[in-house]
Structure 1
Amino acid sequence: MRDDSGRLLAAVTLGKNVTDVLRRWRPPDDAQRELALDFLRHLRDHTLDGLWRECAAGHITASTLVLDSTRTRVLLTLHSKIKAWLQLGGHLEPGDATLADAALREAAEESGIRGLRLLGAGPVQLDRHAVRCHPEGSWHLDVQYAAVAPPGARHVVSDESDDLAWFPVDALPEPTDDALRRLVARAVRA
């Protein structure tokens, strides 16, 4: 991690917000409750770098499942590195004021859609998955939100995607994973 006062201040300020979000969140089940506790332990053990990509032990990320205005379709990205259909999201940045801001920023950057509105007051679910951000491997500790796009929203494929498309919530494409299927089901119920 670079040692500059702006980045350190961002780590403290954003870190407090992430901690508050995880403490206030009402997990939908025991597995999600345990994952929230794991994320909080990570932040306690990595106070100054646990939010940033440079933390080899793992780092917090934010993602957003985008639903259309009717909540019957979901916008997914065919991720250019993973080669699977996923929700939109990525790494936190020092300019993010809150975790929710980071989730919306990532969704807007990757979809080109402005005016996304988060559903609910907090995350829909958490997910921990292995990534190759470091030669020895690392973890994304992903805080997953859901948002609704404005009526008639048009998306634009970003450099991070091989494709971007709307799918019915009950007919997700392959390849995808169980974490995405759970996220879609929870978001539709939100």
Structure 2
Amino acid sequence: MSLYDDTVLVLKNHEDLGELRQVYLDHLAAHPDGMWKACTDGHITASALVIDAERGRVLLTLHRKLRMWLQMGGHCEPGDDTLSAAALREGTEESGIAGLSLLPGGPVRLDRHHTPCAWHLDVQYAALAPAGAVEAISDESLDLRWFAYDEVAGVADESVVRLVEATRVRF
């Protein structure tokens, strides 16, 4: 199964993702290249909110280009077999934490936002950090920092706040 087919299946099987789900499916139906950064009309991205449930906190990255505190995430790559694998890869690369595991149940939410390269149709997962996890800043980040759940609204935009809330409900 291709990454495109896996993504369509994930979206079709998660009706709880809201009205954007159909927008994403329509986009993919109209754009066979809609998984890739080269699709200038917009493309699917995968992200992972890294959580330390034991300490009630999330790890956010100060994105180098956007200069915003965000969850880990980014573009799908040809080596990604599944959308969840893309989210886990992004989470691991950008957090520097080995041994992340995605929260069961599939994506937590969807978020569509414009970036300098195109519209991102982000499929957002949550990833549990292993006990004693130590983060490491990647080239894509200016900083990494753990924030208590209730601190996120003071540093991040509404999209990240909604992701944290949805993750807490799921968890």
TM-score range, shorter chain: over 0.9
Structure 1 range deviating more: 51-60 or 173-182: 173-182
User: Aligned residue for 1:83?
Assistant: 67
Secondary structure, in 3 states, of the residue corresponding to 1:89? strand
Q: Which of 77, 102, 107 pairs up with 1:118?
A: 102
User: Aligned residue for 1:144?
Assistant: 124
Map residues 14-25 of structure 1 onto 2, 5 A cutoff. Answer: 14-25=3-14
Alignment deviations for residues 72-128 of structure 1 (CA, whole Å, 9 cap, x no partner): 010000011111100000000010010000000001001110111111221000000
Whether 2:69 is the aligned partner of 1:45: answer: no
Whether 2:91 is the aligned partner of 1:107: answer: yes
In 2, the alpha carbon distance for the partners of 1:129 and 1:36 equals 14
Unaligned runs of 5+ in 1: 1-11
In 2, the alpha carbon distance for the partners of 1:73 and 1:33 equals 26
RMSD: 1.3
Q: Which runs of 4+ in 1 moved over 6 A?
A: none
Q: Structure 1 pair 184/158, CA: closer, same or farther in 2 (3 Å)?
A: same
Structure with greater Cα Rg: 1
In 2, the alpha carbon distance for the partners of 1:57 and 1:186 equals 28
Alignment deviations for residues 32-55 of structure 1 (CA, whole Å, 9 cap, x no partner): 5220000000000011x1000000
Identical aligned pairs, as a percentage? 54
TM value normalised by structure 1: 0.86
CA contact (8 A) 1:85 1:173 kept: no
In 1, the alpha carbon distance for the partners of 2:19 and 2:53 equals 33
In 2, the alpha carbon distance for the partners of 1:71 and 1:99 equals 28
Whether 2:123 is the aligned partner of 1:167: answer: no
Unaligned runs of 5+ in 2: none
TM value normalised by structure 2: 0.95
Q: Structure 1 pair 160/99, CA: closer, same or farther in 2 (3 Å)?
A: same
